[in-house]
Amino acid sequence: MHSWLRGAAIAIASAAAAVVVSQMMRNPVAGQASDAGIARAADGKPDLNGIWQALGTAHWDLQDHQARSGPVLELGAVGAVPAGQGVVEGGEIPYQPWAAARKKENFDNWVTRDPEVKCYLPGVPRATYMPFPFQILQTTGDIVLAYEYASASRVIRIGKADPAPVDTWMGQSLGRWEGDTLVVDVTSFNDQTWFDRAGNFHSEALHVVERYTPAGPDVLNYQATIEDPKVFTRPWNIRLPLYRRQDTNVQLLEFKCVEFVEEMMYGSLRKKTGNEKPFSAARLRWP
Amino acid sequence: MRNRGLTSLAIIATVTVVALAAVAVRVMTTGASTAEPAAAAWTASRTADGQPDLQGIWTNYDSTPFEIFDAGDKPGLYSGDPDGTARGTGPASFPNDVTGRKLVPRKSLVVDPPNGRVPIMPWAEERRNYALAHIADSWEYQTTWERCITRGVPGGLFPTGYGSGYQILQTPGYVMILYEMIHEARIIPLDGRPHVGPALRLWNGDSRGHWEGNTLVVDVTNYNDKGSVATNAASQRVRAIPQSEALHAIERFTRIDENTIDYQVTIEDPKVFTTPWTASMTLNREPDYQMFEYACHEGNQAMPNTLSAGRAKDTARPATRTQ
């Protein structure tokens, strides 16, 4: 009886707290709705918390590209590649001559070479504009970016960080605020990730500077400067908007794609039982 | 190697029991109870939006055995070495005098039922036995950890001996736990929203949190039936025990002092366990711990190596084996 009453009291208090929290989420207490409706965190910085996603087709190709058939004939229209306008400032990716040849090779061998096909970590900036949502969790200290694709994640340290001990797929992210822009300096990459499904690539000398700038309550302008003296002749920029997901009760779900690539990667090593379903009857054709 | 490990474990266990007898008092008071642990005089600080503050980097090194050992156990099997005879223990141990970490002396992480044994149904043990004896046949017989999918919820919080960092961030309406192992950001909404629809099944389930005093209570449902409750050898007999879609976990995170979060999880799955059971452990604050990128799948050479070894064994003729 006593503990029942206590439980009920706790439940009511929790419900009240939940209401307060959800109200706070809608109308951030500390956030003066100034500057084109940009919400602000308790420390006065723009409040980037939320679930964001790129539209468009940068994940297919950072540059202008027309619609084309996909590599699996049986998928027909569903597997075709949509057209898109490029997100590279000036249109050109300034490859060194050897690298331009390699990019073309990558494009011609997309299915066998693209790390995304194997469910590998996407790297930066590719993680940002994949066709999956990601969530920003912003505190006055660290900021975490959680991506639905492959459960990828990054911690952005604000201020200082020691040199990264090892090269990584997602790099080491160091953040700072310049006015209302979150600037993230990303270093210590390996050479394994790509920028898109068109074979655009980099070396381990990659250095990315990202800029996240609110352009209203539900839009972030995303800009990234890409520098890699081993692959490009000069730094180059991409620029695209990120949109806040407005869906009711939206949350990140799981796209744990390892499960979808095991047969492709390890199927030849599986013990044969005679009951196997063929991996795919589909014929590959690319490009 | 094994013997040396066992000897060290014995020494560590002895030292630990003597050195930490005083701590046992606290453990006894928290024990199997799911009530709020005795908070003493320490008061949790609050985040800007009023949540008790759990933020920081935490680790879970703990050599406590998962269950109380039983003579019928087959630790070699559970650790993926069916021919082995070594008695299973907890994960790698880190004595106090080396790392300064506290080891809490208890007989098992399982605190309820009081006998320290997880009430696993026989069919689930048989399925586990078969799977672990056939890991070289297909990835499907390996745990989701070896497959680099996930260590699961709550399994991802159970001690394993390395990759043991957890970073907690709190933002208005959310608690986020970043698991070093397989870089999973577990995002727990606090806004009272309902669970996702029943057709959505998830490896790690669907988490909903709320605060009961200083305790974060997380209700987890909507599991798929492809994962397991625990994935690594340190979880002994519970490793690779399947989870069903009926799995329901209730976790309680209570910061009991500056450096300690008391963690308790009650697990019920009427298709797998005969009764609900509860495990209890601590997360220990370790601000200087550096979390590394655990690019598990990207570097998973163990998977093709295990399978190709299995195929080689298939074709090897017994007569060619050397004694």
pLDDT band at B35; cut points 50, 70, 90: very low
Q: What pLDDT does A281 receive?
A: 47
| Single-letter amino acid code for the residue at A241 | P
* CB-based contact B200 A28, cutoff 8 Å: no
Q: Is B316 helix (H, G, I), strand (E, B) or coil?
A: coil
Which of the pair, A10 or B212, is modelled with greater confidence? B212
Closest Cβ opposite residue B308 in set A120, A138, A269: A269
Which of the pair, B84 or B238, is modelled with greater confidence? B238
Please give the helix or strand (H or E) that residue A184 lies within, else none. strand A181-187
Total residues belonging to chain B: 323
- Quickly tell me which residue has 């997100």 as its tokens: A87
Neighboring chain A residues of B210 at a CB cutoff of 8 Å: 14, 17-18
Q: Dihedral sign, CA of B124, B130, B136, B137?
A: negative
Q: What pLDDT does B72 receive?
A: 83
* CB-based contact B202 A25, cutoff 8 Å: no
Going from the C-alpha of A166 to that of each of A98, A150, B250, B252, the distances in angstroms are 27, 21, 37, 35
| Average confidence (pLDDT) over A246-250 | 95
Least confident of A214-223, A251-260, B76-85: B76-85
What pTM was computed for the model? 0.85
Task: Give the residues across from B280 on adjacent strands.
Answer: B264
Spatial contact of B81 and B30, defined as CB atoms under 8 Å apart: no
Which of the pair, B41 or B59, is modelled with greater confidence? B59
* CB-based contact B176 A144, cutoff 8 Å: yes
pLDDT band at A6; cut points 50, 70, 90: low
pLDDT band at B298; cut points 50, 70, 90: very high
Nearest chain B Cα distance for residue A153, angstroms: 6
Total residues belonging to chain A: 287
Q: What is the ipTM for the molecules in this complex?
A: 0.85
B242 Cβ contact partners less than 8 Å away, ≥ 6 residues apart: B124, B127, B128, B225, B227, B228, B229, B272
Assess whether pLDDT exceeds 90 at residue A246.
yes
DSSP for B267-292, please give it. Answer: EE-TTTBSS-EEEEEEEEE-TTPPPP
Phi, psi torsion values for B32, nearest 5 degrees: -85, -10
Least confident of A215-224, B14-23, B176-185: B14-23
Cα Rg of chain B (Å, integer): 20
Q: What pLDDT does B233 receive?
A: 83
* CB-based contact B171 A49, cutoff 8 Å: yes
* CB-based contact A271 B136, cutoff 8 Å: yes
Nearest CA in chain B to A152: B183
* CB-based contact B172 A21, cutoff 8 Å: yes
pLDDT band at A35; cut points 50, 70, 90: low
B215 Cβ contact partners less than 8 Å away, ≥ 6 residues apart: B36, B252, B253, B254
Nearest chain B Cα distance for residue A234, angstroms: 29
| Angstrom distance (rounded) from CA B256 to CA B285 | 11
| Average confidence (pLDDT) over A153-174 | 92
| Angstrom distance (rounded) from CA A232 to CA A96 | 5
| Average confidence (pLDDT) over B282-297 | 94
A254 Cβ contact partners less than 8 Å away, ≥ 6 residues apart: A148, A151, B202, B203, B204
pLDDT band at A276; cut points 50, 70, 90: low
Assess whether pLDDT exceeds 90 at residue A34.
no
Q: Dihedral sign, CA of B175, B28, B276, B224?
A: positive
Domain boundaries, chain B: 2-33+45-299
- Quickly tell me which residue has 């390892």 as its tokens: A258
- Quickly tell me which residue has 């998830």 as its tokens: B202
Sort A99 into a burial class: Cβ within 10 Å, 0-12 / 13-18 / 19+.
buried
Q: What pLDDT does A273 receive?
A: 82
Q: Dihedral sign, CA of B166, B170, B171, B174?
A: positive
Nearest CA in chain B to A19: B191
Q: Dihedral sign, CA of B194, A2, B116, B18?
A: positive
Residues 29-88 of B with CB under 8 A from A: 48-50, 55
Which of the pair, B197 or B318, is modelled with greater confidence? B197
Neighboring chain B residues of A52 at a CB cutoff of 8 Å: none
Tell me B87's DSSP state. Answer: P
* CB-based contact B293 A168, cutoff 8 Å: yes
| Average confidence (pLDDT) over B71-79 | 78
Q: What pLDDT does A162 receive?
A: 81
Best residue in A25, A245, A247 for a mutation probing chain B (most B CBs within 10 Å): A25
Q: What pLDDT does B34 receive?
A: 44
First to last CA, chain A: 71
Which of the pair, B14 or A236, is modelled with greater confidence? A236
* CB-based contact A24 B204, cutoff 8 Å: no
Model confidence pLDDT, tens digit, residues A13-30: 554 444 444 444 444 444
Closest Cβ opposite residue B190 in set A21, A42, A170: A21
Q: What pLDDT does B10 receive?
A: 38
Model confidence pLDDT, tens digit, residues B94-108: 444 334 555 557 889
Residues 168-197 of B with CB under 8 A from A: 169-174, 176, 178, 182-185, 187, 189-194, 196
* CB-based contact B182 A138, cutoff 8 Å: no
Nearest chain A Cα distance for residue B307, angstroms: 6
Least confident of A71-75, A257-261, B127-131, B258-262: A71-75
Best residue in A27, A40, A137 for a mutation probing chain B (most B CBs within 10 Å): A137
Number of helical (H) and strand (E) elements in chain A, helices listed first: 4, 9
Tell me A181's DSSP state. Answer: E
pLDDT band at A232; cut points 50, 70, 90: very high
| Average confidence (pLDDT) over A241-247 | 97
Nearest chain A Cα distance for residue B263, angstroms: 20
Nearest CA in chain B to A163: B290
Assess whether pLDDT exceeds 50 at residue A62.
yes
CA A238 to chain centre: 14
* CB-based contact B211 A266, cutoff 8 Å: no
Neighboring chain A residues of B310 at a CB cutoff of 8 Å: 269, 271
Nearest chain A Cα distance for residue B311, angstroms: 7
Sort A244 into a burial class: Cβ within 10 Å, 0-12 / 13-18 / 19+.
middle
pLDDT band at A159; cut points 50, 70, 90: confident
Tell me A210's DSSP state. Answer: E
* CB-based contact B183 A15, cutoff 8 Å: no
Q: Is A213 helix (H, G, I), strand (E, B) or coil?
A: strand
First to last CA, chain B: 21
Q: What pLDDT does A193 receive?
A: 98
Nearest chain B Cα distance for residue A84, angstroms: 30
Neighboring chain A residues of B182 at a CB cutoff of 8 Å: 151
Average pLDDT, chain B: 83
Closest Cβ opposite residue B298 in set A20, A120, A259: A120
- Percent of chain B past pLDDT 90, that is, above it, reads 65
Assess whether pLDDT exceeds 50 at residue B31.
no
Best residue in B179, B297, B301, B306 for a mutation probing chain A (most A CBs within 10 Å): B297
| Average confidence (pLDDT) over A55-62 | 98
Model confidence pLDDT, tens digit, residues A97-142: 999 999 999 999 999 999 999 999 999 999 999 999 999 999 999 9
Spatial contact of B255 and B216, defined as CB atoms under 8 Å apart: no
